[in-house]
Amino acid sequence: MKDLAYSTIDSYHQAKQLARKNPEPFWAEIAKNFQWHKPWDKVLEYDFHAPEVKWFLGGKLNITENCLDRHLKTQPDQTAIIFEPNDPSEAAEHITYKELHSRVCRAANMLKANGAKKGDRICIYMPMTPELAIAVLACARIGAIHSVVFAGFSATALAARINDAACTMLLTADGSYRGPKITPLKAIADEALTQCPTIKNCIVFKRTGQEVEWNSIDLWWHEELEKVSDSCPAEIMDSEDPLFILYTSGSTGKPKGMVHSCGGYMVYTAYSFQNVFQYQKGDVYWCTADIGWITGHSYIVYGPLAVGATTVMFEGVPSYPDYGRFWEVCAKHKVNQFYTAPTAIRALEKHPTSLVEKHDLSSLKVLGSVGEPINAEAWHWYDKHVGKHNCPIADTWWQTETGGILISSLAGVTPQKPTYATLPMPGIQAVLLDNDGNELEGEAEGILAIKHPWPSIARTIWGDHERYKKVYFSAYPGYYFPGDGALRDADGNYRITGRVDDVVIVSGHNLGTAPIENALNEHTNVVESAVVGFPHDIKGNALHAFVIPNKSVDDAEKLTNELRDLVAKTIGPIAKPDRIQVVSGLPKTRSGKIMRRILRKLAAGEYDNLGDISTLLNPEVVEEIKQNS
Ligand code: WTA
């Protein structure tokens, strides 16, 4: 896949220019690196007003042939997946491309034998074992649309997602190991399925061996596999056929089922993987995300496998058996590219550096970051203690909706700048807009938007194209609007400043909550904070700040005054929060994002109207906040 990658700054600049002047031939050249049953008739058709986007029209393919079959000719014995179990005393598993191909085909036949066919929606609620990747690829093999639900979600959340897409089959496991905990996945699934009339079969993978209840629709994964062969021709898909649905939270409570399609998603995930991480044949690449999130879809499964990489799948958590586990695994498998989230880095940073230093990290060449802005302190800790000042850090900005990384440095090829995602990838036309939708030039701060489609943009929200239009294409007509703010330096580097949909209008002034939080976090006794708006008689809206202190607070009034002064000093008196509440934690999603929707309700005193809080990592803090306000 050499032709996908720009490994010098000159080739990068050339690519960028070509992509800007002539996007269609640019993407067509890249798409030629893949195996198509029939080439496309037309590269692109789009209208951001409709909105409608189609790539590689008329092209026929199956993504699993690109991720598996074609590597059988060139590197059948290359390791495709290294599985590192939760328990370090359990042996790691090395799965070659040949073996993975065989296991995916057998699983695909298992799905077919149980009635699954092209276009059916199959829900996957499984732990991070190789069978999860196999389940995803088996669906793709037969053209069924997978909808992976993170195995930390509750029964209510699972049922809502199954019902939204009217899934006909559920793939799950008896239980899952995560750190010292065992989660009874099958029992949770059973509870969900009492509300899911469309599910006809539930296939259960045995992981923990725990007792499970058995219903008439249940089948054991291992028993079903024995009944079928490992020969399964790939279903031929249209480039624009849906490949999967993945739910992401919106600013209202109901999750959005983002739909990605076969051709464009394949091309863009492989292209971005290769370029951002500068993967070289034989390298070992590890992304610590869960396949339940987009990062796991694009950069554990599809992107790496499409280029024939060796990808690590880790079942556990960074804190088990101790806070050195990530580094132990890097040393054990001689990881070359390591991709994780700032929230993990911040958690690890609080523990003694001896936990990093005692492991040999000399194999590392490239580090990556994803999911939220990486603050300067975390960036420098990562650079110093993990990268030993010797590994470029790719801060990758993207979303579930974008399918792949849109803004990032290319490791070791383009310059990095701490806390900046840096430059848009070749082929990505990013702009900054002012509130009226005018494009800003040069150094500026504004609303991030994308001007031209890229192959892996989500095509719709499952069952709700109107919402897709409203959320992403209506605020700034003619642009894709991701909902993030950014600033741009004189060299064109982007720094993501946070969500712009969290802007609060106080006395007629637009105030972003993100910069206020940054100001509060500067205080030596503040670990983390979240600021939301609440209705105010005179100002329209006022600000409520939730702050987590470092150490216990003896004099709350003194702290509050200091914080108000700090905000006034950093941003201006108008940004001073009316209320500052000291809390021990903030309600967070399982991927570590603060649930501002819930904080807004709490700040407004709407305790009876909090919506579903069962998907939170820490629902207990909601009660604490209510009690103390
Ligand atoms: C945020 C995760 C700053 C951003 C791949 C985006 C980031 C949302 C970065 C999407 C980054 C992601 N710097 N912010 N490098 N990466 N974000 O859908 O607000 O879980 O809109 O996709 O995360 O989150 P999602």
DSSP alpha helices (H): ranges in 92-168?
97-113, 130-142, 155-164
Ligand 1 centroid from CA 453, angstroms: 18
- Output the residue whose Cα is nearest ligand 1's atom 7: 372
Q: Which one-letter amino acid corresponds to residue 353?
A: T
Q: List pLDDT tens digits, range 447-464.
A: 999 999 999 999 999 999
Is the four-CA dihedral 476, 482, 484, 490 of positive or negative sign? negative
Ligand 1 centroid from CA 93, angstroms: 31
pLDDT at position 537 over 80: no
Q: For residue 509, name the pLDDT band (cuts at 50, 70, 90).
A: low
Q: Please list, in sequence order, all residues whose beta carbon lies within 8 angstroms of the beta carbon of residue 177, skipping any fewer than 6 positions away.
A: 85, 86, 87, 127, 207, 208, 315, 316
Pocket probe for ligand 1: among 247, 487, 496, the residue whose CB has the most ligand atoms within 8 Å is 496
- Output the residue whose Cα is nearest ligand 1's atom 12: 371
Ligand 1 centroid from CA 370, angstroms: 7
Ligand 1 centroid from CA 341, angstroms: 10
Q: Please list, in sequence order, all residues whose beta carbon lies within 8 angstroms of the beta carbon of residue 606, skipping any fewer than 6 positions away.
A: none
pLDDT at position 178 over 50: yes
pLDDT given at position 617: 87
- Output the residue whose Cα is nearest ligand 1's atom 23: 371
Q: For residue 2, name the pLDDT band (cuts at 50, 70, 90).
A: low
Q: For residue 253, name the pLDDT band (cuts at 50, 70, 90).
A: very low
Average pLDDT of span 479-504:
89
Ligand 1 centroid from CA 372, angstroms: 5
Q: Which atom of ligand 1 is nearest to the CA of 293?
A: 20
Instruction: State the SS3 of 258-304.
Output: EEEEHHHHHHHHHHHHHHHHCCCCCCEEEECCCCCCHHHHHHHHHHH
Q: Which of left, alpha, beta for 74 (phi over 0: left; psi -120 to 50: alpha)? A: alpha
Pocket probe for ligand 1: among 398, 417, 422, 450, the residue whose CB has the most ligand atoms within 8 Å is 398
Ligand 1 centroid from CA 615, angstroms: 19
Calpha distance 243→459 (Å, rounded): 11
- Output the residue whose Cα is nearest ligand 1's atom 25: 399
Higher-confidence residue: 571 or 65? 65
Calpha distance 70→63 (Å, rounded): 11
Q: Which atom of ligand 1 is nearest to the CA of 408?
A: 15
Q: Which atom of ligand 1 is nearest to the CA of 499?
A: 19
Calpha distance 607→291 (Å, rounded): 33
Ligand 1 centroid from CA 499, angstroms: 9
Ligand 1 centroid from CA 371, angstroms: 4
* Domain locations in the chain as residue ranges: 2-62+261-498, 91-235, 503-627
Do the Cβ atoms of 392 and 415 come closer than 8 Å?
A: no
Q: Which atom of ligand 1 is nearest to the CA of 248?
A: 18
| CATH number of the structural domain 2-62+261-498 | 3.40.50.12780
pLDDT given at position 251: 53
Q: What is the DSSP letter of 486?
A: E
Calpha distance 598→253 (Å, rounded): 10
Q: Which atom of ligand 1 is nearest to the CA of 395?
A: 15
Average pLDDT of span 575-598:
90
- Output the residue whose Cα is nearest ligand 1's atom 14: 372
Calpha distance 320→76 (Å, rounded): 34
Calpha distance 456→448 (Å, rounded): 18
Average pLDDT of span 468-483:
94
Pocket probe for ligand 1: among 484, 495, 589, the residue whose CB has the most ligand atoms within 8 Å is 484
Calpha distance 134→130 (Å, rounded): 6
Lowest mean pLDDT among 9-13, 534-538, 586-590: 534-538
**Which residues, in sequence order, are bridge partners of residue 220?**
204
Average pLDDT of span 414-428:
97
Q: List pLDDT tens digits, range 45-93.
A: 999 999 999 999 999 999 999 999 999 999 999 999 999 999 999 999 9
**Exposed / middle / buried, residue 58 (Cβ in 10 Å: 0-12, 13-18, 19+):** middle
pLDDT given at position 411: 98
Domain 2-62+261-498 identical in fold to domain 91-235: yes
Percent of the chain scoring above 90 in pLDDT: 81
Ligand 1 centroid from CA 476, angstroms: 20
pLDDT given at position 612: 79
Q: Which residues line ligand 1 (CB under 6 A)?
A: 248, 294-295, 369-373, 395-400, 421, 482-484, 496, 499
Count CA within 13 A, CB hemisphere, residue 89: 1
pTM, 2 dp: 0.85
Q: Give the CA dihedral 173, 178, 182, 187, nearest 10 degrees.
A: -40
pLDDT at position 98 over 90: yes
Ligand 1 centroid from CA 496, angstroms: 9
Is the four-CA dihedral 421, 422, 423, 425 of positive or negative sign? negative
**Which residues, in sequence order, are bridge partners of residue 84?**
314
Ligand 1 centroid from CA 443, angstroms: 22
Pocket probe for ligand 1: among 294, 397, 401, 595, the residue whose CB has the most ligand atoms within 8 Å is 397
Rg over CA atoms, the chain: 24
| CATH number of the structural domain 91-235 | 3.40.50.980
Ligand 1 centroid from CA 512, angstroms: 17
Q: Please list, in sequence order, all residues whose beta carbon lies within 8 angstroms of the beta carbon of residue 207, skipping any fewer than 6 positions away.
A: 127, 129, 173, 174, 175, 176, 177
Ligand 1 centroid from CA 117, angstroms: 34
Calpha distance 445→43 (Å, rounded): 33
Q: Give the CA dihedral 317, 319, 323, 326, nearest 10 degrees.
A: 0
For residue 336 the two structure tokens come to: 């070359």
CATH superfamily to which 503-627 belongs: ANL, C-terminal domain (3.30.300.30)
Contacts 24+ apart (CB under 8 A), 557-564: 559/523, 559/525, 562/523, 563/520, 563/523, 563/526
Residue 12, CA distances (Å) to 254, 269, 571, 629 in order:
41, 18, 38, 54
For residue 432 the two structure tokens come to: 């900054």
218-220, strands of its sheet edge to edge: 218-220, 201-205, 169-173, 121-125, 145-148, 242-248, 256-261, 460-461
Closest CA to 153 of 130, 180, 122, 176: 176
Do the Cβ atoms of 277 and 340 come closer than 8 Å?
A: no
pLDDT given at position 511: 67
Calpha distance 102→517 (Å, rounded): 51
For residue 112 the two structure tokens come to: 């077919």
**Which residues, in sequence order, are bridge partners of residue 257?**
247
